[in-house]
């Protein structure tokens, strides 16, 4: 779990690394958005522990793979509903949230699109936490870790491509 949280933190570190050349307002936007994501991580992790890890582990221990699968599907469905609400509220209120987090007018103007996209896509974070919880509950924590490794590699590759407009990617920054 400690390594998983370190891997989750790596997303923000990589984002700041590649955004740093864009200026202080861009870095501040990523930092403020990552602060908001910490709350989302807490919600996703709590849901993951409460539903998937506990229920899947119980059903797996009972030698009930069908029950474990049902618990996993129900947890993912619940995660999708909760994350859709969080995404809707966060995505529609990105400017207000940046202001509440202490963002200046320049940060809000420069970074609200980034924050809207990130908060609007929190379903991915929820699903990642839930799937990793399912793997841990089923007794395969290494698969959960490999999932995070893969996600971080994709982030490390795509960040410079999207920020700088490398290759066939349009420059977003």
DSSP 8-state assignment for residue 23: -
Each residue of 52-96: pLDDT tens digit? Answer: 878 999 999 999 999 999 999 999 999 999 999 999 999 999 999
* Non-local CB neighbours of 165 within 8 Å, separated by 6+ positions: 171, 172
Is residue 121 helix, strand or coil?
coil
Q: What is the DSSP string of 75-99?
A: HHHHHHHHHHHHHHHHHHTHHHHHH
Q: How many CB atoms lie within 10 A of CB 106?
A: 13
Each residue of 1-44: pLDDT tens digit? Answer: 677 778 878 888 898 898 998 889 999 999 999 999 988 888 88
Rounded-to-integer distance, Cα 173 and Cα 152, Å:
20
Write down the domain spans for the chain.
Answer: 2-164
Taking each helix axis as running N to C, give the angle between helix 54-61 and helix 65-92, from 0 to 180 degrees, rounded to the nearest 10.
170
This prediction has a pTM of: 0.82
Residue 165 has pLDDT above 90, yes or no: no
CB 98 within 8 A of CB 115: yes
Each residue of 101-129: pLDDT tens digit? Answer: 999 999 999 899 999 999 999 999 889 88
**Residue 79: burial class (beta carbons within 10 Å; 0-12, 13-18, 19+):** buried
CB 65 within 8 A of CB 144: no
């Amino acid at each position: 779990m400690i390594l998983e949280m370190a891997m989750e933190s790596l997303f923000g570190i990589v984002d700041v690394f590649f955004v740093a050349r864009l200026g202080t307002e861009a870095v501040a936007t990523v930092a403020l958005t990552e602060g908001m994501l910490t709350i989302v991580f807490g919600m996703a992790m709590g849901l993951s522990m409460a539903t998937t890890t506990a229920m899947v582990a119980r059903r797996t221990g009972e030698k009930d793979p069908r029950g474990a699968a049902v618990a996993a599907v129900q947890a993912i469905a619940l995660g999708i509903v909760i994350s859709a609400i969080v995404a809707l509220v966060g995505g529609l209120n990105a400017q207000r949230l940046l202001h509440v987090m202490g963002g200046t007018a320049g940060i809000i103007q420069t970074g609200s699109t980034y924050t809207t996209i990130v908060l609007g896509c929190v379903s991915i974070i929820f699903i990642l936490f839930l799937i990793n919880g399912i793997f841990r509950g089923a007794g395969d924590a290494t698969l959960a870790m490999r999932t995070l490794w893969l996600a971080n590699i994709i982030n490390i590759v795509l960040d410079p491509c999207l920020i700088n407009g490398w290759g066939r990617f349009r420059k977003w920054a």
